[in-house]
Chain A
């Protein structure tokens, strides 16, 4: 086959692919507007299949602050305490005080401006739904999604009780779930770095004599000495 014939064959193949709707047409903006369907409706490939409603239900475990996604159910502080002691206390402590380096679940109120902020449901978490969602999807650690919905309601109620958010007699239900505001719900705002840190955009950063005095060492990692591997001094040739 001559070179020009090869090229011709290639062009024909390309044209064929484009005709078959395999993407080449989209790479030519505004070349043939009449051939492009309305932009709002992208072409379907027909790949994949429609989900069965039971499949969607099985995997839809996410819960939002407004209660969307909450399953029917209820659980009391008392019921939650029993479950907590057998399923959770080994890591989180009997009263949510934490064990070892496992997360503390209670206390920490008023600690957010201090040296050691403690981020619990009572001190930090803005929404109760996050606790329910997380316990349901990821706890107990190593045996995820093994709790019934009622058990998750009960555990959530117990963690609320540990944080002095509800009395010992409290029962949490899907119906009363969104009525309990969290103390730190107003403590968050959306990313504002592009305005609050505007000064970090600088067309002409200093290049010479940028410090009035020579720098001096004010802290050394070596003093804390927590680096995993041993330090061996080099030999300079």
Chain B
């Protein structure tokens, strides 16, 4: 049963009917069904079937040939990619998750986008220390082993999105591929303890209002975090997807700040200072403030607004077949659960609700699908996320009207993919 109380099969059928209705309004015979499109038997038999293949005859690798498994050699193209012209150096730069190659809601650890400010710190866990100091009864130092002995260990799936995700698109369509336009987001299972546990151990003083989280890397990454958030749901974690954090994700420990911009999730976490005011660090004055059209800036814009993207089809994953196809995408909100995702094929004229499948967790990526038949008709595909607070993902134009185009951060506007008659798909702006 799904949240709607229908079986998956029923929701599939209903959504499919509705979706085809919308396509009909777009003015083309998209409703041509797969019936009659099925290929006839080939003139000659397929040798892949009629001859014994090597992999079916000879022995494969033994159990210890791959002591730590990797993806198939035929999936080598599924990698993080970067945009070289974005930054001056590789150590303070970003790469992107190949969203169009993934399914479900969990991002494989090795494909989680990276953003570093001083390169990947390689830290021997036995030499790592986490200090809690400032407005506390007793400044404390913890080892990684100490952290793992704390009671109250928790597991949560949360999305982590860079505030600058889609930031290159404020002035218009710029990059062809959801990997580049939306790939600064990932979603993994974290294991760790509430930050509150450590703060309690040190004894937070009554005049405390803010925390400063600091990394052990060569950028000494710092962000000010309201104490209230730190006590509510922040975690100090050592595990992602069931195994130790990857070095590029902050091994041995990082901070998790659910629903808030990724820059605050300090990696290689070495210190939490407790204070009564924010510190106004570089990352919260010169960066991660949102410059508006009047020349003033919003600061402490922590929450990531509801957002979605169709990952397939998309420019790196064009349509290759007429007939049955699956439209797939991701939706998320920093304010809680996704309650609905709407999809349009005609550039936002008509919408139908997509089928959500898999767990719908707060502040986690949520997977949606639309099963559809395609007859080669041009489509302008969009998706629109709605979260449990009633926030509706705005169009890019609605967003620009309020924020101008200099914000850099928090671009959650609705994305448009133009699918051509040959299946080629490109990133466009529409008006």
Contact = CB atoms under 8 A, between A and B. Distances in A.
Contact of B176 (A211, A231, A233): A231
B320 A234 contact: yes
Contact of B84 (A43, A102, A199, A228): A228
A27 to B, nearest CB: 10
Interface string A1-29: 00000000000000000000011000000
Interface size bracket, A side: 35 or more
A45 B151 contact: yes
Nearest to B316: A229
Contact of A49 (B25, B141, B301, B390): B141
A233 B424 contact: yes
Contacts, number: 269
B174 interface: yes
Interface in B313-366: 315-316, 318-322, 342, 346-352
Contacts of A130: 280-282, 285-286
Contacts of B322: 236-237
Contact of B380 (A62, A63, A100, A215): A215
A215 B105 CA distance: 31
Given A47-B149, A130-B280, A202-B390, A112 B175 contact: no
Contacts of A48: 140-143, 146, 198, 201
A127 B280 contact: yes
Contacts of B351: 205-208, 210
B218 interface: yes
A14 B427 CA distance: 57
Interface string B395-425: 0001000100010000000000010001110
A227 interface: yes
A95 interface: no
Contacts of A44: 200-201
A93 interface: no
A117 B392 contact: no
Interface size bracket, B side: 35 or more
A221 B174 contact: yes
Contact of A208 (B25, B82, B422): B25
B427 to A, nearest CB: 4
A73 to B, nearest CB: 19
A221 B82 CA distance: 17
Interface in A200-237: 200-203, 205-211, 214-222, 224, 226-229, 231, 233-237
A148 interface: no
B398 to A, nearest CB: 7
A215 B422 contact: no
Given A51-B139, A234-B422, 18 more contacts: A42-B200, A47-B201, A48-B146, A50-B140, A51-B140, A59-B271, A91-B88, A112-B406, A130-B280, A137-B219, A188-B296, A189-B298, A193-B301, A208-B25, A210-B348, A218-B429, A221-B176, A222-B427
